[in-house]
Chains A and B, each alone.
Chain A
Amino acid sequence: MSVQRNAVIFAWILLFPAVLYVTVIVAYPLVDTFILSFTDASLKKTTNWVGWVNYGKIFNSTFAEVIFRTFVWTFFSVSIKMIIGVFGATMLNSAVPGRALFRVLTMPPWVVPMAIGIFMWGWMYNGQFGMISGMLQRLGLASGPVAFLAEGSTAFWATIITDVWIGVPLVTLYMLAAMQAIPQDLYEAAWTDGAGRFYRFRRITLPLIVPSMITMSMLSLIATFNSFDIIWILTRGGPSGETTTMIIDTYRTAIGSNKYGEGAARAVLICIFLSIFCLCYFRVTSRLASGDKR
């Protein structure tokens, strides 16, 4: 129908600049990466077509472990980010004096260049000199220095917490914006019906920010899945590879060892995994979002 067609044309006009820009800048590198993944590209000047060999190489013994770890790491990081972000947004959404300041004070982890923030966490985790270990000892909760990055299990969580820390401001900010868009009279109606603050939060705020939560968690998922600096700076994927995620693995291969072909294959694989995952996630959550079945 032509009303529709007009609208569609207009939609494309609106989209055109963004699409064009992204295509021009990113399409070539993406395609190049894809092609690269079938070659043995490295520092060598010549590259040869090797077909699926690179993909074959990925599936070695540790691969399943890395994949699994990546998903677990991402899952916890994103969930915690969302929980803390929604919590923070709720607090900052209350009409209390000083909230403008508090809102701004949430932002530093995100504003500070990532590496710096990670260094600061590195110190905090330091067993000998770090704040956390120090405080624990002060409070008598630990008898000696606790080196959080020494054990696979603690390092795993330490990296997650750092990732959460860096991601929380954005989530908070976005959730805050989502909460602000909820019409006041819904709260008023619920309030007159006797719903307390928590109940209102659960039945009105939460369901109404679900679309925003889905979007945010998905963007966050992608970013987290590809989160590199944190693990790299804090643990380099160690100890004993226990914080090695796919992206660390990819980086090691592509940049560390200059095996661009193999690295590209891993990158493509990440993209495929993420695409499948996002698709499923979207399917499931959009059904969830459309029904308030308590």
Chain B
Amino acid sequence: AGQEISWIYCGDKIDPIHEKYIKEWEGKNPGWKVTPEVVGWEQCQDKATTLAAAGTPVGMAYVGSRTLKEFAQNDLIVPVPMTDDEKKSYYPNIVDTVTFNGTQWGVPVAFSTKALYWNKDLFKQAGLDPESPPKTWAEEIADAKAIKEKTGIAGYGLPAKTFDNTMHQFMHWVYTNNGKVIDGDKIVMDSPEVLAALQAYKDITPYSVEGATAYEQNEIRAIFLDGKVGMIQAGSGAAARLKDTKINWGVAPLPLGPSAKGKGTLLITDSLAVFKGTGVEDKAIEFAKFITSPGPQGEYELQGGAGLTPLRPSPKVDEFVKADPSWQPFIDGIAFGGPEPLFTDYKGFQNSMIEMVQSVVTGKAEPADALKKAAGEIDAFK
């Protein structure tokens, strides 16, 4: 009897590489069929959740790893434990993004990190050395100031719209200053490291794109592509786009804060979650592991342009980086990077963080107060 694994697949269409490997897997598992349903990015996760909540879960869904904790706690998904070998095959810290209660709840399928892009032309116009990007926050702020004052063009692109990404961007700063939001079950956000990050936000705002709260990262990136901002932090996708422009650009690891221990970044992964109660859980796990195994995954993530960072080190990756050194900073950050903090009510947590950032950026609150307030709020979302 044929069985079916339904898969909510985010995006506009199924990646040809996935299509190829689905066929391959189906070939190896006669009687089994994988039926991906393509759902737009905005809605795919909600749809998976709704279906699960309504009692007809899909076999497998592409979700942000941050939601795994919530799914797990509510008994919607099954654990997908990794063997030590498997764990080891990934870059450091990646497995953490899917780990909760000591086991893994999803299979990472996509990974992204950020680096600093800078516009060499603007640096030159501002009298800065176009070949030396800022290494620390202090330099970054100073460079931004110089650009703003000398050229009248914004020095830094700070996205602070009410969007997920606003928190992500801030988390990059937290992780480049060795900060932490939650440690185990304890909120540790109200720390000097995080405060410094927030203070830096406040300091760089005057030299940032006017109206930070109106932009999210893609919009900021568009401004950068248009040459109207000196520096942004963005994923690998920006590089591919920059190649189509006339802009002289460089990409470097994210600048570090005073308490940094090394290059850091926020590690965001998306995972394949396997839902409980479908009767095909085991097969789904099997398929999930297959489709994210080094072969298919490597082929998938290194197509370029998609803005993905490789999940696993491999000779192929090294080759790739050699061919295009702009990949290096994205991989460098992984070492001291941190995961998205896992909260039961992740959205609640995120809203508080955004609120905090916005209140500082718009000057409505002092960093210390904002931080204290947010730290208090997010306790409820653990």
On whether the beta carbons of A42 and B162 are closer than 8 Å, the reply is: no
On whether the beta carbons of B347 and A149 are closer than 8 Å, the reply is: no
Size of interface on A: residues with Cβ below 8 Å to B: 32
Closest to B343 in A: A257
Given contacts A257-B347, A258-B53, contact A45 B211 (CB under 8 A): no
Looking at the complex, which one of A43, A146, A236 makes contact with B70 (CB distance below 8 Å)? A43
On whether the beta carbons of A240 and B364 are closer than 8 Å, the reply is: yes
Interface string of B212-251 (1 = CB under 8 A from A): 1111000100110010100000000000000000000000
How close is B342's CB to chain A, nearest CB, in angstroms?
14
Looking at the complex, which one of A144, A237, A255, A259 makes contact with B162 (CB distance below 8 Å)? A237
In A151-188, which residues have CB < 8 Å from any B CB?
A: 151, 155
How close is A155's CB to chain B, nearest CB, in angstroms?
8
Residues of chain A contacted by B347 (CB below 8 angstroms): 252, 256-257
Docked complex Cα distance between A164 and B223 (Å): 29
On whether the beta carbons of B52 and A238 are closer than 8 Å, the reply is: no
On whether the beta carbons of A150 and B71 are closer than 8 Å, the reply is: no
On whether the beta carbons of A128 and B222 are closer than 8 Å, the reply is: yes
Residues of chain A contacted by B68 (CB below 8 angstroms): none
On whether the beta carbons of A252 and B358 are closer than 8 Å, the reply is: no
How close is B377's CB to chain A, nearest CB, in angstroms?
11
In B317-370, which residues have CB < 8 Å from any A CB?
A: 345, 347-348, 351, 354-355, 358-359, 362, 364
Residues of chain B contacted by A256 (CB below 8 angstroms): 347-348, 351
How close is A54's CB to chain B, nearest CB, in angstroms?
15
Looking at the complex, which one of A128, A151, A240 makes contact with B359 (CB distance below 8 Å)? A240
Looking at the complex, which one of B76, B162, B210, B228 makes contact with A235 (CB distance below 8 Å)? B162
On whether the beta carbons of A44 and B46 are closer than 8 Å, the reply is: no
Interface string of A216-256 (1 = CB under 8 A from B): 00000000000000000001111111000000000010011
Number of A-B residue pairs having CB atoms within 8 Å of each other in the complex? 94
On whether the beta carbons of B213 and A149 are closer than 8 Å, the reply is: yes
Residues of chain A contacted by B162 (CB below 8 angstroms): 235-239
Residue A148 at the chain B interface, CB threshold 8 Å: yes
On whether the beta carbons of B213 and A258 are closer than 8 Å, the reply is: no
On whether the beta carbons of B348 and A147 are closer than 8 Å, the reply is: no
Residue A117 at the chain B interface, CB threshold 8 Å: no
Docked complex Cα distance between A127 and B71 (Å): 39
In B187-222, which residues have CB < 8 Å from any A CB?
A: 209-215, 219, 222
Residues of chain A contacted by B219 (CB below 8 angstroms): 126, 128
Docked complex Cα distance between A148 and B362 (Å): 14
Residues of chain B contacted by A148 (CB below 8 angstroms): 214
On whether the beta carbons of A147 and B214 are closer than 8 Å, the reply is: yes
Interface string of A51-71 (1 = CB under 8 A from B): 000000000000000000000
Residue A145 at the chain B interface, CB threshold 8 Å: yes
Docked complex Cα distance between A96 and B345 (Å): 59
Residues of chain B contacted by A260 (CB below 8 angstroms): 53
Given contacts A43-B76, A257-B347, A258-B53, contact A129 B222 (CB under 8 A): yes
Residues of chain A contacted by B354 (CB below 8 angstroms): 238
Given contacts A147-B211, A147-B215, A150-B210, contact A239 B358 (CB under 8 A): yes
Docked complex Cα distance between A239 and B75 (Å): 35
Closest to A231 in B: B162
Docked complex Cα distance between A69 and B276 (Å): 41
Looking at the complex, which one of A43, A240, A259 makes contact with B71 (CB distance below 8 Å)? A43
7 pairs of residues in contact across A and B, judged by CB atoms under 8 Å: A43-B71, A238-B161, A238-B162, A238-B358, A240-B213, A240-B362, A260-B53
Using a CB–CB distance below 8 Å, which chain B residues touch chain A?
46, 49, 52-53, 70-71, 74-76, 160-163, 209-215, 219, 222-223, 226, 228, 345, 347-348, 351, 354-355, 358-359, 362, 364
Using a CB–CB distance below 8 Å, which chain A residues touch chain B?
42-45, 125-129, 144-151, 155, 235-241, 252, 255-260
* A-B contact sample (20 more), CB < 8 A, given A151-B211, A240-B358, A258-B49: A42-B74, A43-B53, A43-B71, A43-B76, A45-B75, A127-B210, A128-B209, A128-B228, A147-B213, A149-B161, A151-B213, A236-B162, A240-B213, A240-B359, A240-B362, A240-B364, A241-B355, A252-B351, A257-B347, A257-B348
What 7 A-B pairs have minimum CB-CB distances, sorted nearest first? A238-B162, A147-B211, A150-B211, A239-B213, A147-B214, A43-B74, A150-B214
